[in-house]
Amino acid sequence: MTNLLHIDASIRGGQSVSREMSAAFADAWKAAHPEGTYTYRDLHETPPPYLNGDYLAAMYVPEEQRTPEQQAAWEQTQWIRDDVRSADVILLGVPMYNYSVPASVKSWLDHVSPPEFLVDADTGEGVLVGKKVVVVTARGGSYAPGTPKEDWDHQEPLIRAILSGVGLDNDLTFIHTEMVLSYTVEKLAQFRHIHDASRENAMKAVAELAAA
């Protein structure tokens, strides 16, 4: 039985393009995997806590030697580690905020990198290696190759770097919907065709990947 872990983070509710794309993936995946199980997390509704000193200490102290505060900090985010460990497919719906990811997503990523998940540098082995990861993003502008702000994309490189440390980059696909702001910012209206094409491509990619 396969398990899809679906995570959203946008603060824009029903207006959100990343939520729309991740929902399209989840619906197509469920149709293609009727026997599969499904877990949904909304990081906007339930943001993971920031890392703190008690959590850091708990990472390196055996359970029986932890202080109550360290144990509490560890247990508070056990759901994140359990979710990732039991998922076969991890789907992240990620808006771009200030050229990067929302703080809730950064916090989630921080909690996905404890020592127990780190890849062995010599063997390349790790408990999360082999899982499929799909990241659907929505951006106000465009960061495609050749665009003026190509180098300002700190979203995909950040997610890639963090996931590579825990072996979640072997089967990792990004699907971007760009120029979302062309429909709300008048000065960007000239770029609506870029958004339309990007959105159509993203929808197609999501459907194909989910059904694979």
Ligand X SMILES: Cc1cc2nc3c(=O)[nH]c(=O)nc-3n(C[C@H](O)[C@H](O)[C@H](O)COP(=O)(O)O)c2cc1C
Helix (H) or strand (E) holding 197: helix 192-211
| Residues 148-187 interacting with ligand X (rule: CB under 6 A) | 180-181
What CA–CA distance (Å, rounded) separates 134 from 123?
A: 25
Residue among 27, 12, 20 nearest 4 (CA): 27
Under the binding rule (CB under 6 A), the answer on residue 136 touching ligand X is no
Could you tell me how many residues of this chain bind ligand X (CB under 6 A)?
17
Under the binding rule (CB under 6 A), the answer on residue 12 touching ligand X is yes
Interface residue with ligand X, options 4, 5, 16, 80 (CB under 6 A): 16
What CA–CA distance (Å, rounded) separates 162 from 92?
A: 14
Using the CB atoms, write b or e for 43-64: b if 16+ within 10 Å: bbeeebeebeebbebbeeeeee
Under the binding rule (CB under 6 A), the answer on residue 206 touching ligand X is no
Smallest separation (angstroms) from ligand X to the CB of 138? 3
Interface residue with ligand X, options 6, 7, 19, 133 (CB under 6 A): 19
Instruction: Mark residues 68-97: x for contact with ligand X by CB under 6 A, - for none.
Output: ---------------------------xxx
Under the binding rule (CB under 6 A), the answer on residue 24 touching ligand X is no
Residue-by-residue DSSP string for 150-179: GGG--SHHHHHHHHHHTT--TEEEEEEE--
Under the binding rule (CB under 6 A), the answer on residue 194 touching ligand X is no
Chain contacts with ligand X (rule: CB under 6 A): 10, 12, 16-19, 95-99, 138-141, 180-181
